[in-house]
Amino acid sequence: MSVAIGLGLMEFPFATAADYWRWVDLCEHGGIDSLWQTDRVVSRQPILECMTAIAALAGRTRRLKFGVNVISVALRDPVLVAKQCATIDVLSDGRLLPAFGIGSPLAPEWKTLNVDTRTRGRRTDEGLEIIQRLWREDSVDFAGTYYRLSGASIAPKPVQADLPLWIGGASEAAIRRTARIGTGWQAGGETPDDAARVVAAIKAAATDAGRSIDADHYGAGFPFYFGDAGDRIVTEAMAAYEKRTGRDAKRYFALGDADAILARIAEYVDAGISKFILRPMGAGDDMLAQTRQLIDAVLPQVANRWPRRPKSTA
């Protein structure tokens, strides 16, 4: 199994853009596989708009891959999303990792934008069909419940001829959606036990649908912190997580030293996960320090324990 470690952001933890780019440069040169931005349009906390952020990453970096964990399709126009993804993929020479989902029903956007959460699954299914077809076809006609298109087209197409389509979510509907059209699955707040259940269900559903998903196309993530579990930043974050989700933060957060973080990665690997979006805890210089420790103390152990497979030249 080929294990890759990416990093993700939700809130913007930097005082200035220069501080953010210092962090990005550290990831670019330190061997981080990919960077991910949360999709959140409405918030009181500082959160970057996801598509704008990854477009900027495409211009700043030369090696890193990047994506959104995950794009809430029901809140966005699918033709615009297809065009944005294609443009970013072209300008980054094929480094985009698109991941899509229906979005959390607890997100503030639904109420603020007056969108019925009961329709988000059906809107997402229609939107994903439009996005996929626009990436592949020269002219798209579509007559659905929520979207209607006549002769829609985008150019240029994505550089990646088969642009990945990773699906997020752990509901039965998300499992069926992944099995039916996904090329990979990206967890949200699932623990290793949760992830193992979902991975097994997706594999079974994909077999029933006459499809298969590559074994190393299952992803998950968790917050990490080098330091004491009693530190204020940790206790506040864990309390907020448990209040928001009702889940036990101890089974999700990885706290302590490099061995503790590596052990949590191993739990997910045992569950069938090989692609990771880890979230460093901290702000400003602390954020950079946490990332440096991950690069120096964890990435070498990951490379030794789960060596990356060489790309096929066939």
| DSSP single-letter state for residue 155 | S
What stretch of H or E contains 278? strand 275-280
> What is the reported pLDDT for 105?
80
What is the tens place of the pLDDT at every residue in 255-302? 999 999 999 999 999 999 999 999 999 999 999 999 999 999 999 999
- Average pLDDT of the residues of the chain: 94
- Note the helical H segments in 102-211: 109-112, 120-136, 172-181, 192-208
3-class DSSP assignment, residue 132: helix
- What percent of the chain stands above pLDDT 90? 88
Tokens 């979006």 appear where? Answer: 277
Within 207-273, strands assigned E span 218-220, 223-226, 254-256
Contacts (Cβ under 8 Å, ≥6 apart) of 202: 175, 178, 179, 182, 185, 213, 218
Q: Is the pLDDT of residue 95 over 50?
A: yes
> What is the reported pLDDT for 314?
41
What is the tens place of the pLDDT at every residue in 132-185? 999 999 999 999 999 999 999 999 999 998 899 999 999 999 999 999 999 999
Mean pLDDT of 119-144: 96
pLDDT class for 310, splitting at 50, 70, 90?
low
> What is the reported pLDDT for 288?
97
What is the tens place of the pLDDT at every residue in 192-204? 999 999 999 999 9
Q: Is the pLDDT of residue 27 over 90?
A: yes
pLDDT class for 311, splitting at 50, 70, 90?
low
> What is the reported pLDDT for 184?
96
Q: Is the pLDDT of residue 312 over 60?
A: no
Q: Could you count the other beta carbons within 10 Å of the beta carbon of residue 189? A: 17
